[in-house]
Amino acid sequence: MQPITLTRFLIEQQRREDSACPAELRLLIETVARACKTIAHAISKGALGDVLGSLGSENIQGEVQKKLDVIANEILLDANEWGGHLAGMASEEMETIHPIPNRFPKGEYLLLFDPIDGSSNIDVDLSVGTIFSVLRAPENSAGRDVIEEDFLQPGRHQVAAGYAIYGPQTLLVLTLGNGVYEFTLDREMGAWRMTDGPLQIPSGTKEVAINMARREQWSPEVRRYIDDRVGCEAGPLAGQYNMRWTASMVADIHRILKRGGVFLYPADHRQPGKARLRLLYEANPMSMLIEQAGGRSSDGATSILDARPTSLHQRIGVALGDPEEIAALLSQVA
Ligand code: FDP
């Protein structure tokens, strides 16, 4: 028998007595998943589809936009605008929020996304992904256009989060707040089929993902934690740990969900507020997935899911993965 489809999984979630998946959310997730299929198709064309390379423009973060960043952003906007499930969207690639235009019916959800995460990998045929987060629009936004403040909710308020990973297989990894499930794209049938879940991060895996080239930005505590594991010659942990860094958060987090270990992108301890990863559409959805799979998230002080956002493109220091590794990291800080 074939594994169940995403559609069936979502309908079964909707039918549960303690359902956290009303029909509108189900349709929204189906729409995002459909858009990810379209993105996967565009990526797979590569040079033949003229989708590789840069556009010469910069996004709000001051980063050079790849053609696929813009293509994927458009695909997600077009797919989600007219369905009636959303009040607005926000994206890494757009300076301001995108309220649903008045010509379409509006719904009660907000969708935030990073259309292509790990963009530096696109042109060299390594894994990239799409990350998404779903929030409920605040009650006081009913009857008016949503504004940026409506999106500034802690990650704990997310009602769904997930990513698609475009790698050797195309996968969708999803949580609705009761476990994490993996679906593989069945290209012949055009369906997402469940291939794993509920995922539980394997404990005790001695793998660390961090960009060692940023060492000068790390606090003394992060340096100690890393030096004990991958820089040590004689300490008690010598020779036990391995390093992995793909420069694609989706790929690194997927490996941790499946195989264990820890992912770090610390804030720059020399400049308060300076960090690499974006809170609302990168750190929050990944933290929800990691915590739902038995892992832990931390910004160095609290769970990332409790961080209070103050702006749409805010950045944050990130530690995600095996709870024992996060505890070991935090014990350096205490
Ligand atoms: P990218 O900007 O290429 O989309 O989103 C930030 C991110 O990728 C993460 O996916 C990745 O983990 C990180 O940046 C890569 O950072 P480095 O350039 O420091 O390797």
C-alpha of residue 58 to centroid of ligand 1, in Å: 15
Give the mean pLDDT of 309-330: 97
DSSP string, 93-153: T-SS-EEPPTTS---SEEEEEEEEETGGGGGGT--EEEEEEEEEPPGGGTTS---HHHH--
CA dihedral 187, 191, 196, 198 (to 10 degrees): 150
Which residue, judged by its Cα, is nearest atom 12 of ligand 1?
A: 249
**Ligand 1 neighbour 130 (Cβ under 6 A):** no
Binding residues for Mg(2+) are 92, 114, 116-117, 282
Binding residues for substrate are 117-120, 211
Give the mean pLDDT of 137-156: 95
Residue 313 pLDDT greater than 90, yes or no: yes
Give the mean pLDDT of 167-174: 97
**Ligand 1 neighbour 118 (Cβ under 6 A):** yes
Please give the residue that has the higher pLDDT: either 55 or 221. Answer: 221
**Ligand 1 neighbour 212 (Cβ under 6 A):** no
Asked if 159 contacts 25 with a C-beta cutoff of 8 angstroms, the reply is: yes
3-state class percentages of the chain: helix first, strand second, coil last, to nearest 5: 35, 25, 40
C-alpha of residue 214 to centroid of ligand 1, in Å: 12
**Ligand 1 neighbour 120 (Cβ under 6 A):** yes
Distance, C-alpha 136 to centroid of its chain: 18
CA dihedral 264, 132, 157, 13 (to 10 degrees): -120
The string of pLDDT tens digits covering residues 190-244 is 999 999 999 999 999 999 999 999 999 999 999 999 999 987 777 888 889 999 9
How is residue 213 written in tokens?
Answer: 């080239």
Rg (CA), the chain: 19
Asked if 87 contacts 112 with a C-beta cutoff of 8 angstroms, the reply is: no
C-alpha of residue 118 to centroid of ligand 1, in Å: 5
Q: Count CB-CB contacts under 10 A for residue 14.
A: 17
Q: 207-333 adopts what CATH topology? A: D-Maltodextrin-Binding Protein; domain 2 (3.40.190)
Which residue, judged by its Cα, is nearest atom 17 of ligand 1?
A: 247
pLDDT of residue 284: 98
**Ligand 1 neighbour 119 (Cβ under 6 A):** yes
| Atom from ligand 1 closest to the CA of residue 117 | 4
Domain boundaries, the chain: 6-196, 207-333
pLDDT of residue 136: 97
Asked if 208 contacts 264 with a C-beta cutoff of 8 angstroms, the reply is: yes
Domain 6-196: state its class: alpha beta
Kindly state the percentage of the chain with pLDDT values over 70.
99
pLDDT of residue 51: 85
C-alpha of residue 1 to centroid of ligand 1, in Å: 39
- DSSP code of residue 72: H
C-alpha of residue 248 to centroid of ligand 1, in Å: 6
Which residue, judged by its Cα, is nearest atom 5 of ligand 1?
A: 117
**Ligand 1 neighbour 249 (Cβ under 6 A):** yes
| Atom from ligand 1 closest to the CA of residue 114 | 5
C-alpha–C-alpha distance, residues 302 and 285, integer Å: 16
C-alpha–C-alpha distance, residues 22 and 27, integer Å: 9
C-alpha of residue 249 to centroid of ligand 1, in Å: 6
- Cα–Cα distances (Å) from 287 to 10, 66, 78, 161, in that order, read 22, 26, 27, 9
The string of pLDDT tens digits covering residues 73-112 is 999 999 999 999 999 999 999 999 999 999 999 999 999 9
Q: Sorting pLDDT into bands at 50, 70 and 90, what band is 334? A: low
Burial environment of residue 7 by CB neighbours within 10 A (0 to 12, 13 to 18, 19 or more): middle
The string of pLDDT tens digits covering residues 19-29 is 888 999 999 99
| Nearest residue to 152 (alpha-carbon basis) of 279, 309, 42 | 309
Residue 1 pLDDT greater than 90, yes or no: no
Which residue, judged by its Cα, is nearest atom 7 of ligand 1?
A: 118
